[in-house]
Copies of this chain bind each other. A is one copy, B any other.
């Protein structure tokens, strides 16, 4: 069933876990107990991934100021309408952004306080110079 282990405790731990050797059993036990569950982990990764792209960060920073229509958003963050639209779709699928149509224009706004909070916290930590500070 398994190969022999150095100690019973160790064997119990590693069998419970995986095939690798464990040095500090208690530390590993504690670490594993602290791991978020699969869905939680995936959710975290998703949110952070949304914030991991410069274009999306600019979009979020822009929308943190005003609601904006797609073309204004594109002009604001200096990318193509299409690229912005693609990104907005992703952000909307994640529930981070909401849209509202008015005539031919579609306005987007932030729709998730968590993400906004994460963004500004990160900005605080980094120190937040903007173009208006120049």
Contacts and interface: CB of A to CB of B under 8 A. Distances in A.
Interface in A78-118: 78, 80-81, 105, 114, 117-118
A80 B80 CA distance: 41
A71 B28 CA distance: 10
Contacts of A117: 121, 125
Interface residues of A, number: 68
A126 interface: yes
Which of A31, A69, A117, A131 neighbours the largest number of chain B CB atoms within 10 Å of its CB? A31
A105 B36 CA distance: 26
Contact of A43 (B58, B71, B121, B126): B126
B34 A130 contact: yes
